[in-house]
Amino acid sequence: MKLVWKRLWPELKPYKNRLLVVLLIGALTSALKAVVPELTRQLEGAWTGGHLDRAYQIPAAIAVIWILASVGRFFHLYWMKYISDLISVNLRRQLMNKYLGLNLSFFQSFITGSGGLISRMLNDISIIQNGTHKVADLMREPFMAVFAFAYLIYIDWKLTVFVLLALPVITSILRKLAMSLRKYGHINQEAMEDLTKTLKESLDGTRIVQSFNLESEMRRRFEREADKYLASRKKIIAREEAGGPVSESLAALTLAVILVYIGMQIFAGHLTVGDFIGFSFAIGLLQDAIKKLQDGYIKIQQTSVALDRMYSILEDRRVVPQAPIPLPFPKDWQTIEFRNVSFAFDQEPVLRKINLTVKRGEVIALVGPSGGGKSTMVNLLARFFDPTEGEILIDGTCLKDFDLKELRAHVALVSQDVFLFSDTVERNIHAGDFSKDPSLVPDAARSANAHKFIEKAPEGYQTRVGDMGSNFSGGEKQRLSIARALFKDAPILILDEATSALDSESEQEVQKGLDHLLQGRTAFVVAHRLSTIAKASRILVLKKGEIVEQGPHQDLLDRQGEYFRFHQLQAGL
């Protein structure tokens, strides 16, 4: 419980004033209910003593007290559940901010992918939300238990001590159930994560699934993971509900002994029937309080598992750090330098001691076999992650010393895997720089060779692109991404396999847009098709993380080295 509260209290702390109100209302509600056993005891005395007025007054008082307690309970639960919702939304905000700040290496290594991250955002935080609801019971029912216990001592302290003998047994059972719940709760949440991952893959990969007749495979995988989820849920439900019969059975045995004892005390003249009624009522309130505390304790254990899983992400350090006192990005910079830059992913070297100086306005092409480090180089330039050794500098200032947002404002990216938001064409292009006037969007589209097909769309620039741009062809989507980069008008440009997935006709249309985009910019072009980079200022050939050749197109051909071999392979010679 200490670890749970250590995790949960920082989330509860901002609402401590409201929680104090919840606590006070809970205490008042419990106090009101605790009066009822004594009133029922007095009612029996009024009946047997012939006090007609009290026989009317006491039932009325019981009704008023119970109504007031019910109203108090409403506000008590209302505010606690609302605070739970505030906490869950706040946690989702924290998780969303963390997702946006994590570097690419985190996403590349997260086993269950984006589906698993979605599951933690939705399912795990829902478990935390439900567990936080139970904080209301944990705040209210201890008062009820104390009040009921105090009244039981008032009636007969010897009998109360006997009742207490059952509590260590119940506590021991609950502790064992809680340990088991933590274990199966973790398994259950992992199973839900796998389910979400499979669902997302099925939806995102609909075309591939259907074209390769993988529907049955995806069904089998989903059913297998659903069965795993149900198996863990079965164990969790069994443990959640096991506490009830155990505590109720002990309570029944205890009550049987109590009834015998009270009967003997009544026969002996030490207790009255009214004492028995009041004692029984208080026992009922105490039992109800213990049952709710037990349920709250069990739910909090599941909350603990969800909090652990959530904080494993929130505390992950794979973020791109911001400079404490960032330097302004130079307006008239002249060089970009890679100085002894190395990068390793999970201790596997990807780049090795890269040294490169690029002058402003140069177009640098990166070629080489897959896994050579081409995309890693440009990802480091945009600070999607940082070098493990060495540094990248602009006019002698390390990228780490610039404000991250300002650095990326000076870098535009066009990649092979075009991402379009499920919004209008205009908003997707305007996303290049929302600070600019959206009336400039058509100009960017014209330069990207996209204006004509946009105008032919059902609603022109207000046409929705669909999920992942599904309403447009591959070439059209690529031209929209080029228009977005043109609208951003950043001086540094990254083209990462921008035309590799297109057919020849689409490539020609896209290339016209790229020609406009390259004008006056410093560009890093990653490409497998050598025909697209023949005009580059310099071509770098990367192999196993090292630059093995560099120079203009014709010079590299004349050397008849690695670049020449690539060229011959693509030419079919």
What CATH code is carried by the domain that includes residue 38? 1.20.1560.10
Evaluate whether 240 touches 232 at the Cβ level (below 8 Å). Answer: no
Beta-sheet pairing, 348-359 with 522-526: unpaired
The burial class, CB within 10 Å (0-12 / 13-18 / 19+), for 96 is: exposed
Could you tell me if 355 and 266 lie in one domain?
no
Could you tell me if 228 and 356 lie in one domain?
no
> Measured between alpha carbons, how far is 445 from 450 in angstroms, rounded to an integer?
5
Query: For the chain, what is the domain count?
Result: 2
Distances from the Cα of 252 to the Cαs of 175, 392, 490, in angstroms? 21, 74, 76
User: Tokens in use for 247?
Assistant: 């505590």
Exposed e or buried b for every residue in 545-573, given b needs 16+ CB within 10 A? bebebbbebeebbeeeebbeebbeeeeee
Could you tell me if 25 and 143 lie in one domain?
yes
> Measured between alpha carbons, how far is 167 from 164 in angstroms, rounded to an integer?
5
Beta-sheet pairing, 522-526 with 492-496: parallel
Q: Where are the alpha helices (DSSP H) in 504-561?
A: 504-518, 553-559
Does the model's pTM come out above 0.85? Answer: no
Tokens 């659903």 sit at which residue? 226
Could you tell me if 459 and 552 lie in one domain?
yes
Closest CA to 446 of 498, 350, 513: 513
Exposed e or buried b for every residue in 27-57, given b needs 16+ CB within 10 A? bbbbbbbbbbbbbbbbbbbbeeeeeeebeee
Locate the DSSP E strands across 360-474. 363-367, 389-394, 397-398, 411-415
Could you tell me if 289 and 344 lie in one domain?
no
> Measured between alpha carbons, how far is 449 from 509 in angstroms, rounded to an integer?
7
pLDDT in tens, the chain (573 residues): 666 677 778 888 899 999 999 999 999 999 999 999 889 888 888 888 888 888 889 999 999 999 999 999 999 999 999 999 999 999 999 999 999 888 888 888 888 888 888 988 988 999 889 889 888 998 999 999 889 888 888 887 777 776 676 667 666 776 777 777 777 887 888 888 888 888 888 877 776 788 678 888 889 988 999 999 899 888 888 877 776 676 667 767 777 777 777 778 778 877 777 877 887 888 888 878 887 887 888 788 888 888 888 888 998 888 888 888 999 999 889 999 999 999 998 778 999 999 999 999 999 999 988 888 898 999 999 999 899 999 999 999 999 999 999 999 999 988 888 888 889 999 999 999 999 999 999 999 988 888 989 999 999 999 999 887 888 988 889 889 989 998 999 999 998 877 655 556 666 777 777 777 788 889 999 876 666 677 889 999 999 899 999 999 889 989 988 888 887 877 654
Domain contains 256: yes
Closest CA to 514 of 528, 533, 542: 533
Could you tell me if 205 and 299 lie in one domain?
yes
Taking the CA atoms of 443, 420, 365 and 345 in sequence, report the sign of the dihedral they define: positive
- Sorted by sequence, the CB contacts under 8 Å of residue 374 that are 6+ apart come out as 366, 367, 368, 526, 542
Could you tell me if 420 and 465 lie in one domain?
yes
What CATH code is carried by the domain that includes residue 384? 3.40.50.300
Helix (H) or strand (E) holding 300: helix 273-314
Could you tell me if 366 and 249 lie in one domain?
no
Distances from the Cα of 361 to the Cαs of 232, 310, 334, 551, 553, in angstroms? 60, 45, 9, 16, 17
Q: If DSSP codes are grouped into helix, strand and coil, which group holds residue 202?
A: helix
User: Tokens in use for 448?
Assistant: 């990207």
Could you tell me if 305 and 340 lie in one domain?
no
Supply the range of the domain harboring residue 445.
335-571
Domain contains 545: yes
Domain contains 327: no
Could you tell me if 89 and 188 lie in one domain?
yes
